[in-house]
Amino acid sequence: MSEAIGKPVIDHYWQTESGWPVLSAVQGIERTPIRYGSPGFPVYGYDLKLLRESDGAEAGPNEKGVVAVFPPLPPGCMTTVWGDDERFVSTYFTSFRDKLVYSTFDWGIRDEDGYHYILGRTDDVINVAGHRLGTREIEEAVQAHSNIAEVAVVGVGDPIKGQMPLAFAVLRDASRAETPEARARQEQEVMEMVDRQLGPIGRPSRVHFVSLLPKTRSGKLLRRSIQALAEGRDPGDLTTIEDPLALEQIRSALKS
């Protein structure tokens, strides 16, 4: 991207609640090297830590943890829920026992050099035979295949394993999956890629190929609607969907 537009691309991570970036490479203060896929370092004003979900202790390098901020929160952050201070505290500050800490409800990791990477929402976790897997982790493993442009992974109920990951992927070169035999080969390649990245426990039960994924007009992936269709439920409110044909493709893929 940087080469194409002739300008640096500065990634960052923030939330509606934060009002401004929580993680970023602050180039105006220190010119740190850009690492694609990483929003960088905690922005000034944030005492940010990655905490283990199990005991609330700080996670080590390359260990997954919940992205959390110790108060006081800097100016610009949400300070309460209008007319309901108790709800504000109970929603954002009670994730960890004996710790008054703001939870972003996002998973993250930090490498040895201090660069952070966001792995997805803590509620986008599926339980496969007792193993907790983030859908974002599986999506990244699927997308490591050179012909995958975009992917959505959801957890679907399974009577034996509790849940199983199910993937819907957009191909860079759709001609490589034009026939049933070619689609089967492509699907097997993707599954083998996930095996190498995460191990067999992360392998999707199926990889369905579609030409687009259902998103809102602001670009947010409608995972809940995809999961609902996969489990035979109502997909819910779709007033913000960008292209209704995307959900029809999901329905058709599931029927096949």
Q: Which residues are the active-site residues?
A: 123
Distances (CA, A) of 120 to 71, 124, 140, 162: 23, 7, 11, 21
**What ranges in the chain are assigned the alpha helix state H?**
2-5, 85-92, 135-143, 180-198, 223-230, 245-255
Q: What are phi and psi of 132, to 5 degrees?
A: -90, 120
SS3 content of the chain, % helix, strand, coil (to 5): 25, 30, 45
- Does residue 12 sit in helix, strand or coil? strand
Dist. CA 3–CA 159, nearest whole Å: 49
User: Is the CB of residue 180 less than 8 Å from the CB of residue 209?
Assistant: no
Q: Which residue has the tokens 């199910």?
A: 166
Chain center to CA of 152: 9
Q: What are phi and psi of 87, to 5 degrees?
A: -65, -40
β-partners of residue 109 are: 117
Nearest residue to 67 via CA among 35, 43, 31, 32: 43
Q: Can you read off the two tokens belonging to residue 208?
A: 């369905």
Residue type, 254: L
